Amino acid sequence: MFKHFIYSENQVNTILRNIRIWLFPSILICLGLFLFGLMWQITAPYLNGNIDVGFLLTKQHILHVDIWRYAFYAHITFSLPVLLFGFLQLSEQLRLKFPGTHRFIGKFYIGAIVLISAPSGLIMGIFANGGLPAKFSFILLSILWWYFSFMAYRSIRLGQVEKHRAFVYRSFALTLSAITLRTYVFLIPKIILIRGHDLYVMVSWLSWVPNLLIAELIILIAVRKLNLNSHH
């Protein structure tokens, strides 16, 4: 009675290949769209010029500083396309079937970070809430974000595909800090009694260090798998 559920090795490989080709990219796209919508809800109130909402309520004392204000609006304006294009950049199907689109998205993603998002993040880090520990965290985050993104571009220009992929993972891990920061700000006070300055210092590091460690783990697994395949 179970004979119809017995598959040959070729059939199993075909099923697994179809899952890899269609299911994983679909999940990735859905997750990307969900996070895009979440970021839109977060950033939309700032884009209409209101200065008495959300995060800006804590920055009233420096709203008159032009360089900070320009950096803030540049940063939040590009946060949406950078996040969405970062997700699309991870799609293997997009890279294989539409290489031109993959290159265009990659150039926009890296260009936006190197020219706008990371420099504006650096300026915002200098003025960050939370004192010196938080300032140092956000400044270091911006520098690493710029470096990883630039090296992703440089390595692919040199034809170093595996290095390029590794730097893209690192870059996108830091791109996701915009999401993880807000997630921790929401969740941590519900778990432990911490507020204000101490909470902001904690999430300034939690927002990106674990992300980067996970990216390094993914890179390590990929490198070991590549080395294993090269010996067969």
Q: What are 111-145's pLDDT values in tens digits?
A: 999 999 999 999 999 999 889 999 999 999 999 99
The token pair that represents 95 in the structure block: 């890279």
Question: What is the domain partition of the chain in residue ranges?
Answer: 3-230
pLDDT over threshold 50, residue 1: no
pLDDT on residue 16: 60
CA gap 79, 66 in Å, rounded: 20
Mean pLDDT of all residues in 52-73: 86
pLDDT on residue 11: 62
User: pLDDT-based confidence at 2, cuts 50/70/90?
Assistant: very low
The token pair that represents 190 in the structure block: 């519900």
pLDDT on residue 96: 82
pTM of the full structure: 0.82
Of the two residues 95 and 122, the one the predictor is more confident about is 122
pLDDT over threshold 70, residue 7: no
User: Which sign does the torsion angle of CA 126, 132, 135, 139 carry?
Assistant: positive
98 DSSP 8-state letter: -
pLDDT on residue 176: 92
The token pair that represents 177 in the structure block: 């800090």
Identify the weakest region by mean pLDDT among 18-22, 66-70, 114-118: 18-22
CA gap 217, 223 in Å, rounded: 10
Provide the mean pLDDT of the chain: 84
Q: Which helix (H) or strand (E) holds 42?
A: helix 24-47
pLDDT on residue 52: 77
pLDDT on residue 151: 97
